[in-house]
């Protein structure tokens, strides 16, 4: 009996700890990136969702909770971010420039982007069962997030293998805005140049920007 009570006590403390930790996290809203890829039909969403998936995977952790913002224009993005309790909003642009020409394209990313799952956020005997169920659910969410990350990276890398040529440049522009302020806390443009056909230029830039954002949010 005492063993069961101990299990219940540990379960309650675990739930309280998780709730408190979640409440202490800063929420960063990630706007859908603008992918200026220069496609003839003007579409620019083919690289957007995979890039956001990778950003959210890198940003998510003990200090930061990330959510995807669905609004597309600044005033609506700000309103949605405020409604969802965001402390910051991250805006990003991706631009590919062909060697010696105008904007390039990452066409083959579009079919794969639609297949990517969205990243989540996510006492007696019944409590114990609930805790076990929660643990299983968290494991499933973690697996789904890992799958989403891998699929997004595969989509980005596959597009670059098909469309990035030696001499092409990719730039990743970003700004991190604190809610209630007009000037960004952090803003910069990271540029990478492909040395070989199909080289993965974008992924390292996304990771570098994510590190800079985490450092800014955590006050480092």
**Domain residues of the chain, as ranges?**
2-94+106-159+172-189+200-217
- The b/e string for 143-178 (b: 16+ C-beta within 10 A; e otherwise) is eebeebbebbbebbbbbbeebbeeebbbbbbbbbbb
Reported pTM: 0.68
User: What are the phi and psi torsion angles at 91 (to 5°)?
Assistant: -110, 140
Q: Tell how far CA 128 is from the center of its chain.
A: 33
Reduce the DSSP state of residue 144 to 3 states and report it.
helix
pLDDT at 109: 42
* Lookup: tokens for 69: 């913002």
pLDDT at 145: 58
* Lookup: tokens for 81: 């971010």
User: What are the phi and psi torsion angles at 202 (to 5°)?
Assistant: -75, -40
> What residues of the chain score a pLDDT lower than 70?
1-23, 35-46, 100-146, 160-161, 220
């Amino acid at each position: 009996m005492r063993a069961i009570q101990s299990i219940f006590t540990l379960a309650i403390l675990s739930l309280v700890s998780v709730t408190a930790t979640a409440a202490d996290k800063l929420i960063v809203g990630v706007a859908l990136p603008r992918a200026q890829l220069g496609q003839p039909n003007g579409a620019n969403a083919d690289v957007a969702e995979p890039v956001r998936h990778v950003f959210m995977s890198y940003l998510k952790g003990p200090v930061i909770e990330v959510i995807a913002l669905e609004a597309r224009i600044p005033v609506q993005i700000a309103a949605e971010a405020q409604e969802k309790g965001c402390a910051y909003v991250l805006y990003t642009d991706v631009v590919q420039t062909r060697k010696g020409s105008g904007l390039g394209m990452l066409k083959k990313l579009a079919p794969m982007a639609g297949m990517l799952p969205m990243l989540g956020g996510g006492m007696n005997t019944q409590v114990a069962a609930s805790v076990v169920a929660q643990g299983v659910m968290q494991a499933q969410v973690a697996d789904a997030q890992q799958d989403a990350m891998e699929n997004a990276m595969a989509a980005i890398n596959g597009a670059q293998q098909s469309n990035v040529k030696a001499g092409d440049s990719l730039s990743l522009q970003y700004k991190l805005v604190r809610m209630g302020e007009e000037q960004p806390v952090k803003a910069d443009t990271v540029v990478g140049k492909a040395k070989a056909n199909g080289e993965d230029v974008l992924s390292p830039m996304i990771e570098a920007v994510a590190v800079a954002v985490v450092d800014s949010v955590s006050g480092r």
